[in-house]
Structure 1
């Protein structure tokens, strides 16, 4: 790409985002439509402005492709997740997990329990997506069978999954944030404890409070008994089927890449469908493509289990590609950079710098539609400002994660928001009030930065050493 183009001014850079958000509000609120067309509209506005300031079509096209290339790993994982859901439902894995979950877990403490379980699993494997695609899917079935609203369950699953992802040394976003800022990985993780542990405690407290209304005395055991009976009538329920998700989780924990581990889960689920549940090979293949279908007569069971397959992910996949194209143009022609530069001009203190980093990371999730860019763009923009103020790089890395990694779930067109909708079947607007950890951590981070708590300064010697290390890495 030709870098000798005119810089985009702040007033022009903000136009595509403002136009997209306005179109998004009208489309979703007034017409009850999907986010696809507003994102395309915003992309057209961004492309037109880029052309007017001197970028050619090849430059703009390369920006589109660059954004799409960035999300291709997510696209592949989503396709496999669609197949894994279809195969695990057909193989009786989800039915068995739901059955035993209903037998063992109390409705009153389910939200707390699923948050803790997802936290532990995600901490062990370093992946919120893999946790939600396995434990999260089963948790949705168990919780909804107990009469707990789907948005509440999704919020608890998300809170737990992102706690583990954020705090795990195996997490790609954790490694990325520490690496880009020049902070030691484990120093970065320890520094995040100040904001993330209080966020988890708040989340568990809220889930405990919400769960009280779903005690056995108020939920009604008759409906649960009906679900259990229906599951037994249509599936062979066995604790041995639980080994399939355990195998996948263990493989990921042993640093096997997520894609091969999930593909093995698809194969094992399909084998279970044929050899344990008695489905034909054709039915097992159809579940991978079109999803599982069941007419049990029990509306709740049918709602839980009639899903999955590659076809079920097409809406999600198309939204990711459109959002990635929009973010690619904004990033490649310097519009995001122009907006962040304007923000930097307003920053007059350390407190303002830290708070601005958190907010900019969240803004990048909205504008670029990808959580990785929400870490990359602010780190590139703010790194020198932290050095100039002798702020330890772990302040920057923590702010990037507090504002970027976990807030990505609140943006319906962000890759994370789209993934959750495709996997858990709940929209970002519905689960947002219940993803307690995800919105409490950024608030805690901003409060701590304003009062100066856990803000670490560098000595002159350490500042010079870290600056040299960052320059050498670049």
Structure 2
């Protein structure tokens, strides 16, 4: 029997997920360990079940490799971000952004300001990862210097970064969701306004209220002055260094691919380290590899700048590869399809179908460990169901973005959760409660589905909007 014709029983398909999540909770919560081993255990269980149901070792091994292959673009970006963080710290770029940020940003408005800044940048470049890897790193430094909790700052940065990742026409996930469902790109973006705008308004209101506790009276101004003095003593601070991130953001906004744009940023930081900070070539090269090393005597400054480099991302890379081996077996042996199909069996009305799609996208993030799969699999699985119910495909494209693109950050072993931990240094379980946009939007989407608001049928579509459907589902 051909592989794609085999039906994986639901109970067998869900078993690796149950075992993996149980092991994950015990390892992380009780043992305070890393998530690698639970994912490997889940992969072993999934592979054993696949073998017992008729898959050959060659097919299972191919599934493993397919999962890893899907993660390779993310791995390359992760490595590049590690190098660029080292280059920008060594070149004084991060120190400059933090220094001027401390002068310009009011502590009580920091969370709102950093969210709005990340929104602007991510809308311009269409990439949450690039936004977090540049503006986000500096924002974390400012927050640390102001005494604002790291999880809170990370949540604001994530909310702002993912707003643009979801709403920008330059975003890969936005284009992927519209393309897979046959929805016009800008019709897809317009339809997402109904859930995303209320989500970001709620987030900004929460950040404003949280920020009120960080008024001038609650901030140790002497500590901030000492931090700024320590940065001046160890780095040359110059507004010209702000050109380095500006160039990278401009290149990505001009649709230059992420890797070439980041490479330009690495070169600019490397040259700044040598010619502006007067570092040796050997030190600059070592910083790219092992990260920046600073002993300023100021604990805050040392914790902020002793980081970056290729080696700092090895934990992140290893977790990404391990997670994608589990995802590869689940996806390519039909287990994920069996789970989603069972969910579909209960979605017999348009309202239930939309809600099920949102939840399935989140569930795919948990099981498949990759944001792109959370968009691809539900789009592929639910397309015919939406068509049969005469629902406009932009219902589907919005549902998979609301439930997939945004919720990837809450899964510590998902590539997005792994990237954020490696870049911002905060665990998903810590920043999760503060990533307001990312959980508000899925909740809003499910509420809309429950009450039947903004569920658009093809027969209800005005003639002027018929062009919203770019192809048959």
1:188-209 Cα distance to aligned partner (Å, 9 max, x none): 0000000000000000000000
Aligned to 2:248: 248
Secondary structure, in 3 states, of the residue corresponding to 2:130?
helix
Larger mean Cα displacement after TM superposition, 253-262 or 340-349 = 340-349
Kindly tell me: are residues 394 and 464 of structure 1, through their superposed partners in 2, closer, same or farther at Cα, counting changes over 3 Å?
closer
Q: Which runs of 5+ in 1 are unaligned?
A: none
SS in 2 for 1:294: coil
Structure 1 segment 302-381 matched on structure 2, within 5 A: 302-381=302-381
For the 8 Å contact 2:245–2:265, the answer to whether it is kept is yes
For the residues of structure 1 that align with 2:338 and 2:184, how far apart are their CA atoms? 29
| Alignment correspondent of 1:298 | 298
Q: Give the distance between the partners of 1:460 and 1:55, measured in 2 at CA.
A: 46
Q: Which residue of 2 aligns with 1:270?
A: 270
For the 8 Å contact 1:2–1:59, the answer to whether it is kept is no
Q: Aligned residue for 1:189?
A: 189
> Is 1:99 paired with 2:85?
no
After TM superposition, give the deviation of residue 422 of structure 1 in Å.
Answer: 0.6
Conserved in 2, the CA contact under 8 Å of 1:288 and 1:310? Answer: yes
- Paired residue for 2:142? 142
CA distance in 2, matches of 1:464, 1:437: 31
8 Å CA contact 1:85–1:308 kept in 2: the answer is yes
1:470 partnered with 2:463: no
Please give the per-residue CA displacement for 1:277-305, whole angstroms capped at 9, x wherever unaligned. Answer: 01111110111111001010100110011
Cα distance between partner residues in 2 of 1:389 and 1:379:
15
Provide the rounded CA distance (Å) in 1 between the counterparts of 2:430 and 2:233: 33
Tell me how far apart the structure 1 counterparts of residues 352 and 213 of structure 2 sit (CA, whole Å): 41
Compared CA separation, residues 130 and 464, structure 1 to 2 (3 A): closer
2:21 pairs with 1:21: yes
Cross-structure match for 1:408: 408
Deviation at 1:215, TM superposition (A): 1.0
Can you list the C-alpha shifts for 1:248-297, whole angstroms capped at 9, x where unaligned? 00000000000010011011001000110011111101111110010101
| Cα deviation code 1:357-386 (max 9, x no counterpart) | 000000000000001000111111110110
Cα-to-partner distance string for 1:315-374 (whole Å, 9 max, x where unaligned): 000000000110010000000000011111111211110000000000000000001000
Cα 1:467–1:174 shift into 2, 3 Å: closer
Aligned to 2:238: 238
Task: Give the deviation of 1:306 after TM superposition.
Answer: 0.4
Does 305-314 or 342-351 show the bigger shift? Answer: 342-351
Residues 390 and 5 of structure 1, relative CA distance in 2, 3 Å threshold: closer
**Aligned equivalents of 1:256, 1:97: Cα separation in 2:** 24
Q: Tell me the residue number matched to 2:284.
A: 284
Match of 1:217 in 2: 217
Question: Alpha-carbon deviation of 1:460?
Answer: 8.8
Contact 2:184 2:467 in 1 (8 A): no
Contact 2:184 2:469 in 1 (8 A): no
Q: Is the 8 A contact 2:183 2:469 kept in 1?
A: no
**Equivalence for 2:123:** 123
**Alignment TM-score, normalising by the size of structure 1:** 0.97
- Structure 1 pair 50–5 and aligned structure 2 pair: CA distance change class (3 A): farther
Unaligned segments of structure 2, at least 5 residues: none
Pairing 1:434–2:434 present? yes
1:52/1:100 CA distance change after superposition, 3 Å = same
Give the direction of change, closer, same or farther, for the CA distance of 1:417–1:456 in structure 2 (3 Å limit).
same
C-alpha distance in structure 1 between counterparts of 2:95 and 2:245, whole Å: 13
In 1, Cα distance between the equivalents of 2:472 and 2:325? 30
Q: Structure 1 CA distance, aligned partners of 2:4 and 2:114?
A: 52
1:441-452 maps to which residues of 2 (within 5 A)? Answer: 441-452=441-452
Deviations 1:167-187 (A, max 9, x none): 000100000001111111100
Native 8 Å contact 2:6 2:334 kept in 1: no
What does residue 77 of structure 1 align with? 77
How far does residue 468 in structure 1 lie from its aligned partner after superposition?
Answer: 9.5
Verify the 8 A CA contact 1:5 1:54 in the aligned structure 2: no
Distance in 2 between residues matched to 1:2 and 1:73, nearest whole Å: 30
TM-score, with length taken from structure 2: 0.97
The 2-side partners of 1:466 and 1:116 are apart by 30
Moved over 4 A (4+): 460-468
2-side partners of 1:466 and 1:160: how far apart?
28
